[in-house]
Amino acid sequence: MTDINASRSKLNVIFLVLVASLGYFVDIYDLLVFSIVRVESLNGIGITDKAAVTEHGTFIINIQMFGLLLGGILWGIIGDKLGRIKVLFGSILLYSLANFANAYVNDVNTYAAVRFIAGIGLAGELGAGITLVSETMSKEKRGYGTMIIAVVGLFGAVLANIVATKYGWRNAYKVGGSLGIVLLALRVGTFESGMFKDAEKSNVSRGNFLMLFSNGKRFLKYLYCILIGAPLWYVVGVLVTRSKEFGEALGATGVLKGGDGILWTYIGISVGDLVAGLFAQITKSRKLTMAVFLLSSVGCVAWYLSSKGITPERFTWVCFVMGCSVGYWATFVTIASEQFGTNIRATVTTTVPNFVRGALIPINAMFGVFSAQYGMITSGYIVMIILTVLSLFSLSQLKETFGKDLNYVEGDIPSV
């Protein structure tokens, strides 16, 4: 009977990792589809002026990121109060319906409103999945689970680019919505975290977002978890998404397409996540892994920004290498998940990656201020250096969490 139970438990874990991976696949597809179809979709609703495309595109992506910020808080609280599974169902239903609606927009304001709703929905998927896997797998092997989620999930960007290129931007949104509805059927077999069930039986406060701000050390730890991931989203959200404009500044021999850039960047991120996950398991240090990748990303961004006369073909290779260098997404989210107790873990794991995504709003603003004075290329260097310095400092302030026992609540002393 013991062997049967052990085999059943192992199969449950495998199924959970598979479902979480496919969920993140759809999440990334829907999260990045706007960045991929930005120019085409805005042209399709009548906005053709280059400056207007940049202005409205920035407005829409900022609105989407604001939705992610709010959604991260909402789903994180729900995850700790009502369970991780409810977040997986609710979030995917919301963003799937929003993506269907996106296929029928015809003006900027409606487009932005629907992306805001989609952003709220997209905020719940990754955090709930990582939390479930982290709390279900053994402390020595959970890094493999989160690594698989990231590697499989990030290929959603590849599919989004293929669908958008072959079938157009409206169909790309329809496919994204359809994938989400199909995924809901798979979610029926998933099971709740045992650690959450134990916390649910206790009288401890769960999902109290204000708990993160009521204690100075806890708040700083939370802030540091957010800052260590900022360079990645700057690379994706600014350097690659605005590749057309960067190409013009670099004197590119052809048009640098954001969709192609995102495709190859995310292939690179998937490879990087695989390498980062294995490196962390071998060295038994997530902090060392993050430091190596943060430093290497500076060199790769410098290569991109110094590529005068870059060709579209070389651009794809540059994006792939840049993607590899910022392929620490799973490691970064795992670090955040492992820093806090069960009663607030879903809140942290859901809000941290979405606050990083939402940080694109001030990053865009900062880049806009610098680019107005120094131009796009110089500003690209300045912002990358600022974000990397902040990330390395924040990383130095966090404790190593590899192999940490996660079965505790905030207020207890965790076993390390």
Q: What is the pLDDT of residue 229?
A: 92
Give a yes or no: residue 207 inside a domain: no
Give a yes or no: residue 224 inside a domain: yes
The C-alpha atoms of residue 250 and residue 41 are separated, in whole angstroms, by 25
Give a yes or no: residue 198 inside a domain: no
Q: What is the pLDDT of residue 174?
A: 94
Q: What is the pLDDT of residue 183?
A: 80
Q: Work out the end-to-end distance of the chain between its first and last CA atoms, rounded to an integer number of angstroms.
A: 32
Residues 6+ apart with CB under 8 A from 68: 119, 120, 122, 123, 354, 357, 358
- Counting residues of the chain whose pLDDT is more than 90, the rounded percentage is 39
Q: What is the pLDDT of residue 12?
A: 74
| Cβ proximity of 300 and 235 under 8 Å | no
Q: What is the pLDDT of residue 414?
A: 43
The C-alpha atoms of residue 315 and residue 325 are separated, in whole angstroms, by 15
Q: What is the pLDDT of residue 415?
A: 39
Q: State yes or no: pLDDT of 284 exceeds 70.
A: yes
- Side chain identity, residue 271: V
Q: State yes or no: pLDDT of 321 exceeds 90.
A: yes
What are 412's strand-pairing partners?
410
The C-alpha atoms of residue 196 and residue 206 are separated, in whole angstroms, by 10
Give a yes or no: residue 197 inside a domain: no
Give a yes or no: residue 411 inside a domain: no
DSSP state of 310: -
- pTM attached to this predicted model: 0.78
Mean pLDDT of 30-57: 88
Q: State yes or no: pLDDT of 36 exceeds 50.
A: yes
- CATH number at 228 reads 1.20.1250.20
163 or 90, higher pLDDT: 163
Give a yes or no: residue 299 inside a domain: yes
DSSP state of 193: -
Closest CA to 338 of 263, 183, 328, 330: 330
Q: Record the tokens describing residue 249, joined without a space.
A: 């500044």
Q: State yes or no: pLDDT of 299 exceeds 60.
A: yes
What are 410's strand-pairing partners?
412
Mean pLDDT of 255-278: 87
194 or 178, higher pLDDT: 178
Domain total of the chain: 1
Q: What is the pLDDT of residue 61?
A: 86
Q: Which domain holds residue 122?
A: 2-191+212-397
| Cβ proximity of 225 and 390 under 8 Å | no
DSSP H or E stretch at residue 155: none
Residues 6+ apart with CB under 8 A from 3: none
